[in-house]
């Protein structure tokens, strides 16, 4: 990205932890602490983890039921300490048990002070795997302000629905964070749809995927990596299919340049359902 003059809050450095799913929440927290420290040393303000990083994604309802709301609170407390120690914001995916027996596929945005800024439950469930494990979230959610940026979250399959991102864009969205567990053979999502969502909604999109494998009902589930950060004007960076900590810098002045000529001001909302 070409250098320009900017105010401190105009710039964000973002780290994506592209990782295989680990064997236990304890191991996840240990590794998250390492990744947060490495990301902060590299200058990152935000660490983004994949969908359902805390437990794994394709684990089945029986294993999901081995955890409960007390476990969820303990994970939040541990991640609070990681964020505070490293002075870095963290987005992470987890099963939300607060309304048990309903379980949501959720993510949380925790700021660098360890405060939860927002929580979101996945609204669009993908196939038998998602629907057998989770209930759909009831609402798309809202933008919130972090470091003067208007931020929102979606999860994985949600980004494939143009209306989901557009609903957030109509709130003045700057940065859309998308934890995901996108499988191989769906590479068109990071390669085509993520840049398209950034362009058509005049925002940055951060798409953080997993790699490696899990097993569901005897079937091997393989994750495709290709974590991506896209701006309204270009794909800024894309990972390969290996585990890595991906770094990218984004700047609000570039965003404002694009937004000044945005097509959003000309849309005919009266024509749409």
- Active-site residue among 40, 49, 122, 160? 122
3-state secondary structure 222-243: EEECCCEEECCCCEEEECCCCC
Catalytic residue check, 156: yes
Torsion of CA 57, 62, 66, 69, to 10 degrees: 70
Antiparallel, parallel or unpaired: β 204-208 and 175-179 = parallel
Three-state DSSP at 20 gives strand
- d(CA 76, CA 74) in angstroms, rounded, equals 5
- Which residues have CB under 8 Å from 250's CB, separation 6+? 1, 11, 12, 13, 14, 175, 204, 229, 231, 236
- Active-site residue among 11, 40, 51, 214? 51
Catalytic residue check, 81: no
Give the number of other CB atoms < 10 A from CB of residue 238.
Answer: 18
- Active-site residue among 156, 203, 214, 252? 156
- Nearest alpha carbon to residue 82 among 26, 146, 29: 29
Catalytic residue check, 9: no
Residues β-bridged to residue 215: 220
Catalytic residue numbers read 51, 122, 156
């Amino acid at each position: 990205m070409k250098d320009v003059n900017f105010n401190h809050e105009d710039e964000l450095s973002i780290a994506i932890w592209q990782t295989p799913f680990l064997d236990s929440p304890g191991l996840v927290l240990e590794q998250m602490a390492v990744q947060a420290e490495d990301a902060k040393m590299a200058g990152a303000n935000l660490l983004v983890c994949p969908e359902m990083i805390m437990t794994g994604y394709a684990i089945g309802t029986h294993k999901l039921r081995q955890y409960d709301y007390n476990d969820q609170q303990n994970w939040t407390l541990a991640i609070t300490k990681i964020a505070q120690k490293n002075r870095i914001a963290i987005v992470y995916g987890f099963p939300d048990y607060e309304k048990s027996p309903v379980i949501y596929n959720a993510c949380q945005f925790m700021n660098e002070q360890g405060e939860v800024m927002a929580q979101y439950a996945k609204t669009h469930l993908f196939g038998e795997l998602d629907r057998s494990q989770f209930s759909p979230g009831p609402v798309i959610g809202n933008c919130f302000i972090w470091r003067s940026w208007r931020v929102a979250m979606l999860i994985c399959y949600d980004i494939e629905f143009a209306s989901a991102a557009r609903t957030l864009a109509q709130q003045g969205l700057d940065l859309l964070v998308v934890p995901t567990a996108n499988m191989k053979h769906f590479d068109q999502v990071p390669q085509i749809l993520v840049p398209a969502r950034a362009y058509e909604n005049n925002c940055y999109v951060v798409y953080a995927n997993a790699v490696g494998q899990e097993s569901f009902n005897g079937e091997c589930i393989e994750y495709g990596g290709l974590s991506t950060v896209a701006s309204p004007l270009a794909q800024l960076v894309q990972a390969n299919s290996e585990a890595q900590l991906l770094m990218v810098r984004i700047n609000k002045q570039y965003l404002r340049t694009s937004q000044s000529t945005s097509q959003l001001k000309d849309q005919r909302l009266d024509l749409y359902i």
